[in-house]
Structures are given as structure tokens and as C-alpha cells.
Chains A and B, each alone.
Chain A
């Protein structure tokens, strides 16, 4: 029963929006605005065939590799920079500079340097996604409570044990906030890197449809991107609730007082 209720809440608004769309495109003749039925047909035709293998999966693969590398690399580097003061002082201005560069401008540069390849696209994704994770991890590590740190110290919890039991969980909420941003940037960069120079992928397919005036197909590609975004967001929320259960509980208790 509760499940049905939740499902109802999740699906209600999308259904209403589709209904509005359907009503407003009744008798529509504009070539650029497809009706729901036409779009659904184009969607099934376009994506439920070879394109899953030739475009969707390669895109998702690059996205997953890029985003997970960015997360791992960002957390590891963040732990290091956050824990060592001189390293922090040394790197902070440089990090702000790199963070300020909009990652799409790196696509042409990396294309020249690395050629048109999967690794170029993955590097584009990493180069844009790493910043929120890295900077949030640094902040999270810096913000560790002094008393908690002293407690761990008096009980001889040092080195790797300190990272595992104190630093990582304590910075967890900040790191997760960074990962959330990282995911949306990742999706954007996945598409952009494929739009510039590619022979496969969602970005490539969408641009190709647009140029060949396959308008319903183009829209259906945009729908796929939206669905991937939603799926990522669900996976993230599911993971976050588990990893940060303590944090949400603690916040609830604090807010109740």
C-alpha cells in the first residue's frame, strides 16, 4: 500500500505533464514539435534496436568510467590535501583557477592532445567532474571536529585507521554533496564531448538527427538523456541514504530540539 502511494507520487506529475502535452499538440502540424504518440514511436524505433549497443551503452560506459574515476581521484587527492596544511596552502589558488575554467573548452584542446578517442572523452568528463568532489572533500577533512580528533588520537587511532574510522565518515556528508554535483556535470560533459567529434554516443546521435531533420528522433534522444539523469539521481539518493543514515538521523534529532 505504502509502495503504491509512493509510486503514485512519483508518477503523478509526469503523467499530468504528458497529458498537457498531448492536449496541446492535438492537431499540431508544426514539424518541430512532435506529438506524444509520434515521439513514443520514434523512441521505440530509434533506441530499442542496434543503437542501444552502438550509442547508448558506449555513452553510459564513458560516463560511468569518467565519473567514478573523478570520484575516486577527487576523494583520494582531497584527503591528502585536506590533511596536510602546507599542501593545502600550496594548491588552493591553483585549484580555484582550474575549477573556474569551464570544462567544455577543454574538449578542443584535449582533442588536439589526445586525438578523437574514448579516453579523450573520459578525460573531459574527469576534468570537469573532479572539482566539486575534490574541493568538498578538502573542506570536509578540514572541518573535522577538534574534540573528535583528540578522542581518536588519545585512543591511538592514527594513520589509515584514522582515515577509515574518522576522516572519511566525518567528511562523508560534504563528499556526498560533491558527488551529487559531479554526477550532473558528468552527464553534461558526456554529451558535449560526443557532440564535438565522435562516431558514436548519445551526443553524436542527437546532433546527427538534428542535422538530418529527424526531429522526433532528436527529441527522443533528449528523453533518453533525461531518463539517464533520473536513473543516476535515484541511484545516488539510494546510496546516500544508506551511507549517511547516521547523518540524517543526527540532523533530525538536532532539529527536533
Chain B
């Protein structure tokens, strides 16, 4: 058996204080009545400021667990998460999260505008600045025309836009997204992907985008971190060398896109088949 202390192949790390977000030797074990379940074995990677990284993995690979630990909603069993050099022990102020379940992440008793405004109001941002931030955020996601609607009066894609607007208005340094487009239809999804690229480039925010969709990860990311199956380690940390200007038609028909997509797909299939990355495999035998 692999010993618990063997370092698994790590993702890319950065020297000293260059990292905006650092995940260090993170391990998460759930204690249940039926025994311990090791969801995440050992994850290490850094995100530099302003980077857009996608995290893909087979289903059940602990993506959501990892994200919750990074967001400070859950404490890792071992290891730590650093945001701008400070250890994360609860939800940090500089971080915003967009969840997959848009229908359950917005307050149904508040109108769109109130939903976007609430985190700012709670922080005591003055009214005038708050109004400006909310207006800008709603404008950025293309929802300036529905501030007085309730979220449940909107389509799924629009609700997710509201959630994105709320995150944008909050002015986070790191934006975490947990399979945000898994529950919207394909066309809306393409629009939302482009929206994320636009928002990211405009705001210069660091984005960690969790998805199970291989195409989406390659299309969106500057980098794709592929996770193994559970107990999770990093299978591969891949740089996406596609041009910075991306659009749904041309980028997706580039030969390089196809190659990268092919490569990620292969890695995920290997991960599903239970293949472990080389260093871990060697340590295991």
C-alpha cells in the first residue's frame, strides 16, 4: 500500500509570495458511521493572481469537496489553503463562490437587485457605491433590465447570471465556480462561458472553475488541472496554449483545441479506469 506520507505528483506551484491561491497537501477524510471515506488524498497546486484555471475530474472525484475546503466552508483533514498568503479557516472576504444549483443559491424572497446588493449591504458599503457596483454587475451579465424581478421568475440561465452578478459586485480577488453551468441548456451554456471569459478579462480576478465537462474546461481555461478518481490526487496539470481571444466557433475548431481536448479526455478515461499518476503508482508498488 501507498504510505500516507508519500507526496503525490503535485500541480504547478509558484515560489514564495507569487501565488494568489495555494492548496498545500490537502487531504479530506469524511468520518461516517460506515467507516472513514477518503475523498481527497493529497492535492497541491498554486494559482497565480489573475489566472483562470479549470479543474476537471471524473464524477465522484472530490471536486466539490476540494472547492468547499478552498471556500472555507469545510476544514481539510490535513494540509491547508492559503489565500494571498493567509490561511483560510472560514469563508474569506476576498472570495466569492458560484454554485451549480442556481435555484438554491439565490434568495427567493429577494428581488434580483436585492440579491446582488445584499453581500455589499452586509459589508456596510455606502449606498451610492453599492448602487454603482450593482448596476455595473447587472450590466456586465446582461441583466440590467430585470432588477425588480424575483429570481424564480427568470430562466435557469438568467438565474445563474444573477448569481454571477452577485459574485462580481462583491469584487472578490478569487472567484470559485462549482460546475456553474451543469444545469443549464447547451446554448445558454455557451453564452455563459463567454460571459465568464469576458468578466474574467475585464476584472482581472483569479478564477477556479470546477467542471466535469472536458470541452468547457479546455475552452475556458488557461490551465486545466485534471484530478484522478477518488481518493483524489492530481492526475495532470496542463497548460492550455490556445490564443487568448476565444470564441465558440473558431476556438473550438482549432486543431490545437481538438488535441488538447483529446488529451484531457484520455486522461479522464485513464482516471476513471483507476490509473494513478506515475509517482503515486511507483510509490504504491
Task: Give the distance in Å from the alpha carbon of A253 to the alpha carbon of B154 in the complex.
Answer: 10
Stretch at the interface among A57-65, A87-95, A152-160: A152-160
Q: Mark B145-156, 1 if CB is under 8 A from A, else 0.
A: 000001011000
Q: Give the size of the chain A interface in residues (CB under 8 angstroms).
A: 22
Q: Which of A155, A169, A253 has the most CB of B within 10 A?
A: A155
The 8 Å CB contact of A154, one of B91, B108, B150, is: B91
Decide if A165 touches B123 in the complex (CB within 8 Å): no
Query: Nearest chain A CB to B154's CB is how many angstroms away?
Result: 10
A-B pairs under 8 A by CB, number: 68
Decide if B109 touches A169 in the complex (CB within 8 Å): yes
Q: Which of A154, A166, A249 has the most CB of B within 10 A?
A: A154
Decide if A253 touches B122 in the complex (CB within 8 Å): no
B107 within 8 A of A: yes
Stretch at the interface among B79-87, B96-104, B218-226: B96-104
Instruction: Find the B residue at minimum CB distance from A146.
Output: B104
Query: Nearest chain A CB to B88's CB is how many angstroms away?
Result: 11
Decide if A154 touches B95 in the complex (CB within 8 Å): yes
Task: Give the distance in Å from the alpha carbon of A153 to the alpha carbon of B73 in the complex.
Answer: 8
Task: Give the distance in Å from the alpha carbon of A254 to the alpha carbon of B107 in the complex.
Answer: 16
Residues in A neighbouring B95, C-beta threshold 8 A: 154
Instruction: Find the B residue at minimum CB distance from A253.
Output: B152
A250 within 8 A of B: yes
Residues in A neighbouring B99, C-beta threshold 8 A: 147, 150-151
Decide if B104 touches A156 in the complex (CB within 8 Å): no
Residues in A neighbouring B170, C-beta threshold 8 A: 155
Decide if A165 touches B91 in the complex (CB within 8 Å): no
The 8 Å CB contact of B107, one of A148, A150, A156, A253, is: A148
A247 within 8 A of B: yes
Known: A151-B99, A153-B73, A157-B118. A249 touches B105 (CB 8 A): no
* Residues of chain A in range 156-199 having any CB-CB distance to chain B below 8 Å: 156-157, 161, 165-166, 169-170, 172
Query: Nearest chain B CB to A170's CB is how many angstroms away?
Result: 8
Decide if B122 touches A157 in the complex (CB within 8 Å): yes
A-B contact pairs, 12 of them (CB 8 A): A147-B104, A150-B97, A151-B106, A154-B72, A154-B95, A154-B97, A155-B91, A155-B122, A157-B119, A166-B107, A246-B109, A247-B109
Kindly list 12 other residue pairs between chains A and B, CB separation below 8 angstroms, not including A154-B96, A249-B153: A148-B104, A150-B97, A150-B99, A153-B73, A154-B71, A154-B97, A155-B91, A155-B96, A156-B123, A157-B118, A170-B109, A253-B153
Interface residues in chain B, defined as those with a beta carbon under 8 Å from any beta carbon in chain A = 68, 71-73, 91, 93, 95-97, 99, 101, 104-110, 118-119, 122-123, 150, 152-153, 166, 170
